[in-house]
Structure 1
């Protein structure tokens, strides 16, 4: 099945060639040369050479000095890994999230860490769903969310220290943690207890609780959370610790993790 070009839109041959070249790295070995790429996509060697070096300048390809060949940069490999992770999470999380819904009137999320932010890749809404983050692909600052705290807490220590050092801890509410030392202490607590809380730190009256999702090697790759509006921020959502952590364990098992 092919899609037609919309009226008034011009098909750029150089962009099409670049797209075909990038796709070749998913079909063959991880390193490819100019001549091989030119033959594979059906263009002249000089054309392939110009397009490849444009992709290098744009940070999508890099030349391996030891072999003289080209490969995808970490940025491009990361995009592929992120897409694969999101698909695997979707498959593993579908049934556990549906089973968690009866326990809450709030909103359920699965999130991953993206720089200083959390990126929401799955969502389910209860009857009283909060009016924020209603679309997959929404993001929020990690330090004000239970999901973000979970994902930060399980980072290697050097990576965590570097990330926290670069954060701008802007207050969202009077309860927002704006001290790096207090944030690191909170993250240490999260790691000890196995779940994280957000008690009105992102938005007044909104609380959430999150637990870690692990891959087959036990690494924390995502989090699952429930967020609800509450009358008492100080009380939080501790009654949901067990169903949320059990949901995280079921999703982890779907990814291949064995305790």
Structure 2
């Protein structure tokens, strides 16, 4: 009996090791433990392995119309976790704008109806970081009107003086569906100053026609000297923080930033979704934050 148990145990261990050693399919969520990175420690992560709404100990949800003349009404119920993935879903649905004010000049208030819904979650007031390696594995939807993003905002100051880092944005740029890696701060004209790199979606599709069917790892390496943004280990943009000063001399990238994930629809960049098929989905497999060992 002992020999049988030892044999069975050995087989189970070998099977587990074989399974663990298998390469994760690019089209599937990654259930393996976070990677150990030499010189870094994992300080925060969400693998989205629970079921239901995102963990309220980690994330808060935005509600209503928010920015950029976007078409969607943000609501908590459009972000759900299942099978190891956070899915942010945009729907075409119509209902009265509960904040409607016909006399207002604010577009958030003078829209009589909501025609689209989606979700936006962030760690503001819960968790923020100064410097580190930020990794997000996600799959985007290229349907016209889709504007997904992975980004950070500084804790102190009003936008853009607080600083914005777009680890990933997808929208129409120069008439082309594009992926962008950006940073913004306050310029001398008191308007946002941008350092932006744009890669047309065709750049990725030419290398892999099934690129949109797969999860990809968007990474930011941020330290006192630079912000470097990667897609699947390919450097997309490098921003020197010596050049990111606000007019008052403050540097918004030398402070803690909080994390945001959202799927916008339309607005100033997303494109017209009138003829698009809904729902539009944005899937996030995990978010991991590493910082250098002290």
Q: Report if TM-score (shorter chain) is over 0.5.
A: no
Q: Which has more strand, going by share of residues?
A: 2
The structure showing larger relative contact order (alpha-carbon pairs under 8 Å, at least 6 residues apart) is 2
Q: Which has the higher helix share?
A: 1
Q: Report which of the two structures shows the higher radius of gyration computed on alpha carbons.
A: 1
